[in-house]
Structure 1
Amino acid sequence: MKHYLTYKENKFWNIEISGKSFTVTYGETGTVGISQIETFDTKEKCLKKVQKLLNEKLKKGYVEINPPKKINLKSKPIT
């Protein structure tokens, strides 16, 4: 399961759950962002932490969105 959130059109925060762990990726819109992984003893503890983080972000003003379109972040050659 993956959740995508955005904040004031210039920040993003995503969380992806995989078994007993999750990966959070955040940063400025248009960048690949920074990723962090957290692992738990049980799936239940993982889901509880995910819900807490989602609630915190929504309270701060982040808005859940549909999955964003993939952006090509490859740099162009300098000519």
Structure 2
Amino acid sequence: MRVSVTEAKGQLTELVRRAEAGDEIILTRHGHAAVRLVPVKTVIDARSRKALIDSVRASAAEKRTAGPGAARSQDFLYDDEGLPG
């Protein structure tokens, strides 16, 4: 289905619904194809999901650095006498 951008403004909700249902929606500008509406694939199988989680965990572990302990995390707020700096 081809729809001009101007026409699409008034029927966006319906066009999105149709794209989600599998219809090919092409928005045109001056008679030429400009954009295609496609649904976002949100279903991830268990194997892909596990691989993604493992990848994120590995990336986070690489970036982790040792910092000050929680007991000293706000020391920069106070001077040597313990008063707000």
From the CA coordinates, give the structure whose radius of gyration is larger: 2
More strand, by proportion: 1
Q: Same fold (TM over 0.5)?
A: no
**TM superposition score category, shorter chain reference:** under 0.3
| Structure with greater contact order relative to length (CA < 8 Å, sep ≥ 6) | 1
With the length of structure 2 as denominator, give the TM-score of the two structures.
0.25
Q: Which has the higher helix share?
A: 2
TM-score w.r.t. the length of structure 1 is 0.27
